[in-house]
Structures are given as C-alpha cells and as structure tokens.
Amino acid sequence: NAFCYDDGNGALRGAGCVGTVNYETGAISFQGPVNAEFVISCLHTSAFSGKQDATDSAKMNTLKAIYGNVTNQKQSGEVTVARFAKSRR
C-alpha cells in the first residue's frame, strides 16, 4: 500500500508514514520515506466535515437525521450508531 491515512482520531499511519493532524487548527505533522512525494486531500465545510453550529432554535439540541459517509476515496468504512436513553429519576 502506497498511502498514508488519517485514522479519524488525528493519527496518520501507513506506508512508512507516521504523524498527526490537529482538526481544530489544521496543523499537520508527519514523517515518511526518504524522497517520497505527497498529495493532501481533504473535505471541509460540508455536512460530513465535523461540528456545525445550529442557529435555528427548531434544530438546536436535536437530531433530525443521522448520515454516514466515507470521506476517503481510497478506503471503505462502516458506521455504528448506538442510542442511549436518558434515565428518569
């Protein structure tokens, strides 16, 4: 495999590469094989790119729908959704 991937938790791994991604600042730090070339691919400002600020009071603190998407063209993935009920006292 010739690719280095973000594991979704900010760690870069694969193809002799190790590094980190800071999702808040955008800082990327990595080390790879000598004389290797690299291309960065990222998704941003989309429905699947992280937190969004709800300003519409009808949408605040609620889930209207749950969607999943694999944002890496070179890998597949899966989504697990767990629902927890708030206990009433």
- The tens digit of pLDDT for each residue in 13-60 reads 988 899 999 888 889 999 998 888 888 877 666 555 544 555 555 555
What residues are paired with 18 via a beta bridge? 13, 31
Residue with tokens 């890998």: 75
Q: Is 28 left (phi over 0), alpha (psi -120 to 50) or beta?
A: beta
Q: Which element (helix H / strand E) includes 28?
A: strand 28-31
The residue type of 33 is P
Burial, 5: exposed, middle or buried (Cβ in 10 Å; 0-12, 13-18, 19+)? middle
pTM, rounded to two decimals: 0.49
User: What pLDDT, in 10s, does the model give residues 74-84?
Assistant: 778 888 888 77
